[in-house]
Amino acid sequence: MYTFRDRDIRGDDLHSVTIKNMGLAGREAALCSRRCFLAALPAACFAQANLPGSLKNRVLPSAASRYADPSTEFTVLRLTDPAHTSRLPAPYARAISRKSNALLFASDLSGRFEAYHMDLKNGQSHQLTEAEDLDPASLNLLPDDRGFCWLEGNRVMTTALSHLKPREIYRIPDGFERGEGFCVAEDGQYAALIEKKNSRQRLMLIHLTDGSSQKLAEGDQEMRDPIARPKRASVLYRSSGAVWLVNYDGQQNYQLHLADGEDGPALWSPDGRAVLYLNFPADPHKLRNIREFIPDMNSDKMLANTTQYAQFSCNADGSVFVGASSSKASPHVLLLVRTVKRELTLCEHRASDPRMVAPIFAPNSQHVYFNSDQHGKPAIYSIAIEKLVEETEA
């Protein structure tokens, strides 16, 4: 992943061919010029990363570090420095570009949380914001990968990656503050967020084009984690530990009748047909399992037992799951193949809280990304799975 590409080698060869045709003095001058240029690169990069004034769009060198996982000996890549806190967005937000070559994340490298855009080919990151109160979980890449949205204080903000000029889309009304959860719909036209005022909470739908808003649900119970349904005009959300579904017009707001036990993390299948969720049985001797609920048919079935997952997600075609085990004896990140219902251990996460791991797939299903604080502060990790999972289209 972080290898020199052929074009770099060809560039050196071209330089060699060029100086061969010079005289002795010319060749020495060219070689000296090239050496001076290469020697100046680290200083130039450092200077660019520490420009006075605005830090927006500064380039940060790669902090990537490889190591062999002690359990599986698979190579794991730690992408960020554990001396600073770095976080992936919410598991249901878009954090990775459709070409699987860039990552959107938040870090407190500057002393407060800011948004960063990492080139996954060379590990370099660009700082994207200068925000007073950025919500790290709220970062969402827009569908065309040319911009992103986030929550900053009581405002919904957006910007294009080409110019990084922030624009306020929506402001939470006075008396309310942001709640837990924010997502952008698959088509990029709408966003859903939670607002709260004392014990009162409400789910709002925001039109990203003109900033208009509509209340979808309201109550005195906790609301969080709104997830827009792919290819349909409705939003999944959680309230008082249960999973609910409501249409964009605020109609048919109802609780999903899921399996007995505690409802764990939930997400939409890639086609928007089903809700995939973790079920935590009331009997502690039973395994946590992944289940599928189809709202249009009001049907529920178990897909597979798990090694006590605390968080999970699925790949782009829904054929493979990745989960973070909550087992203290085996704190692993695991793949689970849906058809055969078998697991494969990828690596240890050893996070202090397994829920923070929240592993996700790249859109092409060739890498898994997750959070862990196993080496210090929360950092972002990656592991290649191209030999284990077939490539998928975004």
* 164 lies in some domain: no
Torsion angle in degrees (nearest 10) through CA of 77, 81, 87, 88: -30
pLDDT in tens, 264-274: 999 999 999 99
* 75 lies in some domain: no
* Segments in the chain below pLDDT 50: 1-53
Percent of the chain with pLDDT over 70: 86
Q: What does the pLDDT read at residue 13?
A: 36
Q: What does the pLDDT read at residue 126?
A: 97
Q: What does the pLDDT read at residue 54?
A: 62
What range defines the domain where residue 32 resides? 1-50
* 37 lies in some domain: yes
* 31 lies in some domain: yes
* 288 lies in some domain: no
Could you tell me if 138 and 127 are in contact, meaning their C-beta atoms sit under 8 angstroms apart?
A: no
* 16 lies in some domain: yes
CA distance 290 to 93: 20
Strand order of the β-sheet with 102-107 is 59-60, 125-127, 114-119, 102-107, 86-87
Q: What does the pLDDT read at residue 179?
A: 97
* 28 lies in some domain: yes
Domain total in the chain: 1
* 33 lies in some domain: yes
Could you tell me if 169 and 156 are in contact, meaning their C-beta atoms sit under 8 angstroms apart?
A: yes
Q: What does the pLDDT read at residue 56?
A: 79
| Token pair 């900053």: residue | 152
